[in-house]
Amino acid sequence: MFSKVRTCVVSGLSRLPSCVKSSAAVSVTPSLCRHQHRTFSSKCADVKVLYDGLCPICVTEIRFLQFLQRNQPEKVDFIDISLPGYDGEKYSGISYEMAMEEMHVIDEKDEVHRGIPAFAVMYGAVGLGWLGRFMMWPPLRPYMDKSYAIFAKNRLKWTGRGEECSTGRCEKKTQ
């Protein structure tokens, strides 16, 4: 009985992306056991996640995702844009300023995804494809877009970095 229910649920989830019109959601492949951690190897990762390493909210989520993908270090590369050596030209021309405005993820086809589609690609790469598909689900998507837009606009203020991030590169507050 349980295996029959599980089969129905899994097959239903695998069909969900077909009803989503965004190419980002379609490219998200569910994987139940894809885990890895951040490496500094010269091997190119399939997915590149650009994140603000000075944002405590962002870092908390990235650490969780790094934990999830710890067994396949070649799958996802987490790029801290706050490091002094960040060069946007290496990452599809995504400048520091662009990356600070909203989440950017570069998929295995070198396509850039921003906002909620970026989260869908990122979650799919670490084995949370179901969450990415849920976020992209048409009835929920407008609410996700609006919620994320509010977060992206206010995250610097909410994390206590609003003033020093108004121009140029953000610096960690020293008290």
pTM of the model: 0.69
Radius of gyration for the alpha carbons in the chain, expressed in angstroms and rounded = 17
**Best CA proximity match to 48, nearest among 130, 114, 104:** 104
Q: How far is CA 71 from CA 76, 107, 126, 167, in A?
A: 11, 19, 10, 39
Cα separation, 47 vs 77, in Å, equals 6
Q: What is the pLDDT of residue 160?
A: 83
Q: What is the pLDDT of residue 75?
A: 87
Conformational region of residue 146, where left means phi above 0, alpha means psi within -120 to 50, and beta covers everything else? alpha
Place of tokens 């089969």: 7
Cα separation, 128 vs 147, in Å, equals 20
List the pLDDT tens digit at each of the 175 positions of the chain.
Answer: 444 444 443 444 443 333 333 333 333 333 332 333 333 334 456 899 999 999 999 999 999 999 998 887 778 999 999 999 999 999 999 999 999 999 999 999 999 999 999 999 999 999 999 999 999 999 999 999 999 999 999 998 888 886 666 555 665 444 4
Domain locations in the chain as residue ranges: 28-158
CA trace torsion 25, 95, 59, 66 (10° rounding): 50
Q: What is the pLDDT of residue 50?
A: 97
- Beta strands (DSSP E) in the chain are 47-51, 76-80, 104-106, 112-114
Cα separation, 171 vs 155, in Å, equals 15
Q: How far is CA 87 from the centre of its chain?
A: 19
Q: What is the pLDDT of residue 5?
A: 40
Q: What is the pLDDT of residue 4?
A: 46
